[in-house]
Amino acid sequence: MKDMLQIRQLTKRYGGLLATDQLSLSLAAGELHAIIGPNGAGKTTLIAQLSGEVAPDSGAIEFDGHDITALLPAQRALRGLARSYQITSVFPEFSVLENVTLAMQAHRGHSFGFWTPMLAQPALVEPAMRAIAQAGLSQRCSSKVSELAHGERRQLELAMVLVAEPKLLLLDEPMAGMSHQESGNVVRTLQGLKGRYTMLLVEHDMDAVFALADRISVMVYGRIIASGTPDDIRNNEEVKIAYLGEEALPL
């Protein structure tokens, strides 16, 4: 299977701290690959380097067959790499449909117009409706964002990324701050997206990770110490040692 993402010897240093230490990793097209690790392992810095928000000191990032190491975040987004759960342009007094349609309008490069003409354009509204359905929010299509629960807002943010039909989703702790029920909703949503999108998931909810991931890589002090199937990781003694004092791995 073709690799959608290849990370080669990625290194980022902050003074004496190596946030990523010659880290190499690959993701196959259609794979959901989870990155786990203790606090301070460098997971957030890795995601920031992949999205283009942080420049690596050395190493290379290849996405869909092209070297994107030097590209800006907007250039990476245009190529189909999207970081979810980092959306800032959510309008609380507008509906779910209006927000996602506006995201579609922005992706297409359209100028801002009045709401009525925008919502009357099938080329904008139809993709927005599909993305809302994929994110599991169809029943809230007409609801104002201000009325949504925390978990539903996260689903809205996902819909606003999906409307652009990305090739790779970077999911940075999508279950953070959620109740057990809300986490379950997001897990079901992501299960519905598996195979249709390549996804790199960073998440502290171990139950969610083991329910979702095709492969899991464990990151400690900027390095990948183990990578494999959920069963491989669950039974890896080095991983168990790394998690002493942290959350337990599901049995």
Query: Cα dist. 38→78, 79, 248 in Å?
Result: 32, 32, 11
Residue ending a domain, choose from 165, 185, 215: 165
Write out the chain's pLDDT in tens, 251 residues. Answer: 689 999 999 999 999 899 999 999 999 999 999 999 998 899 999 999 999 999 999 999 999 999 999 999 999 999 999 998 655 568 899 999 999 999 988 887 755 555 556 777 888 999 999 999 999 999 999 999 999 999 999 999 999 999 999 999 999 999 988 999 999 999 999 999 999 999 999 999 999 999 999 999 999 999 999 999 999 999 999 898 887 666 667 76
For residue 108, the model assigns a pLDDT of 77
Within-domain flag for 188: no
Q: Is 87 helix (H, G, I), strand (E, B) or coil?
A: coil
Q: In this structure, are strands 81-84 and 168-172 parallel, antiparallel, or unpaired? A: parallel
Residue ending a domain, choose from 115, 147, 165: 165
Spatial separation of the C-alpha atoms in residues 82 and 239, rounded to whole Å: 29
Block residue for tokens 């409307």: 163
Residue 128 belongs to a domain with what CATH number? 3.40.50.300
| Domain span including residue 90 | 81-165
Domain check: are 55 and 91 in the same one? no
Query: Cα dist. 11→44, 60, 92, 112, 128 in Å?
Result: 13, 9, 39, 40, 38
Within-domain flag for 220: yes
Count CB atoms within 10 A of the CB of residue 97. Answer: 19
In degrees to the nearest 10, what's the CA dihedral of 63, 81, 184, 206? 40
Query: Cα dist. 104→24, 94, 119, 121, 159 in Å?
Result: 34, 15, 11, 11, 10
Q: What is the model's pTM?
A: 0.90
3 forms beta bridges with 28
Spatial separation of the C-alpha atoms in residues 69 and 7, rounded to whole Å: 10
Query: Cα dist. 127→51, 63, 151 in Å?
Result: 24, 25, 22
For residue 246, the model assigns a pLDDT of 61
| H-helix or E-strand spanning residue 23 | strand 17-28
Q: Tokens for 96, please give them.
A: 């779910």
For residue 86, the model assigns a pLDDT of 52
For residue 251, the model assigns a pLDDT of 61
Residue pair 188/177 in contact by the 8 Å Cβ criterion: no
Domain check: are 216 and 236 in the same one? yes
The count of structural domains within the chain is: 2
Domain check: are 60 and 21 in the same one? yes
For residue 244, the model assigns a pLDDT of 64
